[in-house]
């Protein structure tokens, strides 16, 4: 299992991961992921050459970043791959001077069970929920956004 920077040859595999998670990603997400992979930093986790997960992070100023996407192939969730992928992403961001990382996901008040595991994932990896915003600009109404942050280093 290897985590490495994304390359354009990985695009179809990443979109395949997205397509395999219909409880999490609406059909329009594939286009957004493709666009974001083209303009932000991406990483993949691969098993013997097969891409089984990916993550995308955007710079937010010189010392901030936002996790835009993180996904692991449906049949391989809960086996530590996401943790390994995120660990590499955060290490790389920290090495580039990033101190604070933001992640937005569906808030618990939405009452949608699939995202309970997603919030547990972020919380178990050091992300702290600091706000809930509804409606969040750009998100469909009725999808309260949980705002998570994690510190990678001191800011003061
Ligand atoms: C979120 C995601 C990237 C995490 O990757 P992963 O490989 O499943 O995660 P890991 O196995 O490394 O971590 C497991 C943790 O996540 C949670 N988790 C992951 N899958 C779970 C599942 N099927 N059921 C319950 N909890 C789960 C648990 O809290 C678990 O913590 P623990 O190991 O301390 O018990 C992946 O599950 C995924 O693609 N989910 C669907 C898409 C998604 O929600 N993406 C994030 C959008 S903001």
pLDDT 10s digits, 15-45: 999 999 999 999 999 999 999 999 999 999 9
Report pLDDT digits (tens) over 105-121: 999 999 999 999 999 99
CATH superfamily of 2-151: Gcn5-related N-acetyltransferase (GNAT) (3.40.630.30)
Contacts of 51 (CB under 8 A, 6+ apart): 10, 13, 14, 17, 44, 45
Cut 0.85: pTM above it = yes
What pLDDT score was predicted for residue 140? Answer: 85
Any idea which residue has 């219909």 for tokens? 22
Residue of the CA atom closest to atom 27 of ligand 1 = 117
Q: Domain-by-domain residue ranges, the chain? A: 2-151
What's the gap in Å between 103 CA and the centre of ligand 1?
14
- Assess whether the C-beta atom of 121 lies below 6 angstroms from ligand 1: yes
């Amino acid at each position: 299992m290897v985590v490495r920077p994304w390359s354009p040859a990985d695009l179809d595999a990443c979109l395949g991961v997205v397509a395999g998670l219909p409880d999490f990603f609406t059909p329009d997400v594939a286009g957004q992921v493709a666009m974001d992979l083209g303009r932000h930093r991406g990483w993949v986790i691969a098993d013997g050459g097969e891409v089984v997960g990916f993550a995308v992070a955007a710079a937010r100023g010189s010392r901030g970043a936002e996790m835009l996407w993180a996904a692991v192939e449906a049949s391989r969730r809960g086996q530590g791959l996401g943790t390994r992928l995120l660990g590499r992403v955060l290490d790389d961001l920290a090495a580039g001077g990033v101190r604070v990382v933001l992640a937005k996901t569906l808030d618990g008040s939405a009452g949608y069970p699939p995202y309970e595991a997603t919030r547990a994932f972020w919380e178990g990896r050091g992300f702290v929920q600091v706000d809930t915003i509804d409606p969040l600009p750009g998100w469909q109404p009725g999808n309260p956004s949980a705002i998570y942050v994690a510190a990678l280093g001191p800011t003061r």
